[in-house]
Amino acid sequence: MSLYWWLMALVGVSWFLTRSLRRYALSRSLIDIPNARSSHSIPTPRGGGVAIVLAYLAVLPVVGYEGWLSWPMVIGLMGAGAWVAVIGFLDDHGHIAARWRLLAHFMGAAWLLAWLPELPRLAIAGTSFDLGLIGYLLAALMLVWLLNLYNFMDGIDGIASVEAITVCAGGALLYALLGMPMLAAPPLLLAGAVAGFLVWNFPPARIFMGDAGSGFLGVVLGGLALQAAWVAPQLLWAWLILLGVFVLDATFTLLRRLMRGDKVYEAHRSHAYQYASRQYGAHLPVTMAVLAINILWLLPWACVVALGYIDGLLALLIAYLPLALLAVRFNAGQLEKA
């Protein structure tokens, strides 16, 4: 079966699984009740991101069989993704202390990194560097930060889904530009799994993703970024550019809260996107703004990096500058006024 039909099937399966999970959540009263730290005002079922997890894990063996991804990478993504999703699912349905969640996240990152044939070289200013053991530590930190920031940024309707779809579609385009279209299959299939869920999560959301889905997306996107860097070192910078909205907002907010001495593991709603949704009185304008920024600003920069027209680090700094200004404009990390 061609990639097109696998993609269509995945969208349908994810849509059906999300529908079933919504019915299950309603029957078991698994509902997010709005509180002072919420960005929504209507009780909504949660845990729909499990549909993304199940759909993508089911298709990953096909990805390996078709040769769209090496079997070690398939095993790494499946193990890390499933592990992180289980931790998120348990946290969704109870509570796991932050220190144990963090330990579990590093275990998932270690599993994924263990299956890489070698760590990608870091390309800066036309020179590539082998970082050795320090590189593995940095890669683990990147994976853990991505899966946690994805959880932090999954706070308004549709935003995490739109981010995943546009990043994956952009990553697939980069492979096509480099003349390797079959390598586009893994990110495209992940986009398909998220698209089926987005039908139910688009503003106004009828179900939320939950920690299982957001953590899974974070670690898998990180794994796909490392896979891309292994193919061509400049693609790591390109993927980080594509992820810019989430990386910049989450990192800026975290640093500001750390400097103020906040307990950063406690729930809050001081991200720029949360302030923006309150300012505009709706989630849809902010989610659509993320879509526009990703397509019209970040994707072109990622493309010129992939094609070698500009150094990746320089392009990342240029691409992130307006995002930093937006973070300041929308008070990212600032204490909410009583």
Which residues are known binding-site members?
A: 151, 211
d(Cα 165, Cα 221) in Å, to the nearest integer? 11
Cβ 37 vs Cβ 23: under 8 Å: no
Residue numbers in the known binding site for Mg(2+) are: 151, 211
Tokens linked to 157: 């309707």
d(Cα 92, Cα 233) in Å, to the nearest integer? 36
Tokens linked to 291: 């879509």
Beta strands in 220-270 (DSSP E): none
Tell me which residue of 312, 117, 101, 82 sits closest to 219, measured CA to CA. Answer: 82
Estimate the crossing angle of helix 132-153 against helix 98-114, to 10 degrees.
130
Per DSSP, the three-state class of 128 is strand
Tell me which residue of 243, 22, 230 sits closest to 117, measured CA to CA. Answer: 230
Residue 54 is given by DSSP the state: H
Per DSSP, the three-state class of 110 is helix
C-alpha of 304 from chain center: 22
Cβ 190 vs Cβ 126: under 8 Å: no
Cβ 273 vs Cβ 156: under 8 Å: yes
* Count of beta carbons in the 10 Å neighbourhood of residue 313: 16
Estimate the crossing angle of helix 244-260 against helix 272-280, to 10 degrees.
100
Amino acid sitting at position 256? R
